[in-house]
Amino acid sequence: MAKNSRKSAICSSRWVPLCSTASRSKCGAKCGVKWSRVRWGSSLRPGSDRCPSPAYAFPAFGERPVNAIEGPTIRDVLAPIWLSKPETARRVRQRIATVLDWACAKGFRATEAPMRSIAKGLPRQPKKVQHFAAMSYADVPTFVEKQRERESVGRVALEALILTAGRSGEIRGACWSELELQNRIWSVPAERMKMGRTHLVPLSDAAVAVFERAKAFKVGASDLVFPGQNVKRPLSDMTLLKILRDMELGVTVHGFRSAFRDWVAEQTDYPGEVAEAALAHAVSNKVEAAYRRTDFLDKRRLLMRDGGAFVCGREAAGKDVAGEADNGAS
């Protein structure tokens, strides 16, 4: 506290730049700093020709000295755009923090930008939704047939990913000790699952056949189903992506999960919660999650059986099997 008081006294006894002056980098001689090194432009988006700070921050406190800006003032600037323009709000906050932190380092203010306290006074911003470029589910069977023209550990791994609706990390890290091919089940350990829980994946005939093909790439005593160039490490994620890039398809590995979800929704009568369980998605409704005690394993067996038949170009049982699942599975 005493240290901050002394620093405040020093700040008040010397010339202090205005926020707008500091941000616009026009006081180089007075401040004795090479402004090009401060890198104010780091908060700009690619392709943007200006920072959003002048439009949002300067009307509120641009003509106030940098040592007079406190948390409530910054919060009042950010609040109107925090939810309606979240990306812009983040960039404005970053710019303000950069200017005030620099001012503190140069002795123009006693404290750094109070951004941690500001965050407590603002609502939580919505999460960014990242959409992965996905292949149409109708094109998946042709793609699988095409990629089988050349056999490689990467292509076999990619087909296994498609047939299990798994994530890249789950597939690439698969171990033989996790697989029970006779019982048609794959137990993915919690440490490799996004939700941190063990996930049981029922295997269709097509999926079992793919894992059988993977035995050709087994190296020595390694437990990895899909070893990389270093046999002690799993296949690289770039290996799978390169297959798609070489085929010039413009899709992502993760997009096959979206294709699976679309196929379930448009071509079958399986309930949405069964498809979500197959994708190992968390239950978004907290109350529903608290009461759900099933992982729909039996229904998922039927779903993955139909999915495997579809991917391999065979007619799936479809709606009839969905009805069977509703009547006889838990």
pLDDT for position 151: 93
Q: Structural domain tally of the chain?
A: 2
Q: 94 with 171, same domain?
A: no
DSSP string, 1-38: -HHHHHHHHHHHTS---BHHHHHTT--HHHHTS-GGGT
Residue 8 sits in which domain range? 2-24+40-120
5-57 pLDDT, tens digit each = 544 444 455 687 887 776 665 344 344 444 333 333 333 333 333 445 555 65
Going by pLDDT thresholds of 50, 70 and 90, the confidence category of residue 59 is low
Q: Are residues 112 and 215 in the same domain?
A: no
Q: Quick one: 227 and 103 in the same domain?
A: no
Q: Are residues 111 and 164 in the same domain?
A: no
Q: Which of 5, 39, 34, 31 is nearest to 108 (CA)?
A: 31
Cα 124 to Cα 114, 117, 120, 288, distances in angstroms? 18, 14, 9, 23
What is the CATH number for 49? 1.10.150.130
Q: Are residues 66 and 208 in the same domain?
A: no
pLDDT at 237: 87
CATH number of residue 319's parent domain? 1.10.443.10
The average pLDDT across 52-64 equals: 63
Close Cβ partners of 152 (under 8 Å, ≥ 6 residues apart) = none
In the predicted structure, residue 127 carries a pLDDT above the cut 80: no
Query: In 36-128, where do the E strands start and end?
Result: none
Least confident piece of the model among 55-64, 77-86, 307-316 = 55-64
Query: Domain check: are 154 and 245 in the same one?
Result: yes
Query: Tens digits of per-residue pLDDT, 154-182?
Result: 999 999 999 999 999 999 999 999 999 99
Sequence letter at residue 271: P
| 109 and 156 both lie in a single domain | no
The residue with greater pLDDT, 107 or 126, is 107
For residue 141, give the nearest of 280, 316, 320, 325 by alpha carbon.
316
Final residue of a domain: which of 85, 120, 155? Answer: 120
Residue pointed to by tokens 């006889």:
328
- DSSP letters spanning 182-210: TTTEEEE-GGGSTTSS-EEEE--HHHHHH
pLDDT tens-digit series, residues 280-329:
886 655 545 444 556 789 999 999 999 999 999 876 554 444 444 444 44
- Cα separation of 316 and 312, whole Å? 10
Shared domain check, 141 and 115: no
Beta carbons within 8 Å of 62's beta carbon, 6+ residues apart: 18, 19, 20, 23, 54
Total-model pTM? 0.57
Q: Are 190 and 300 within one domain?
A: yes
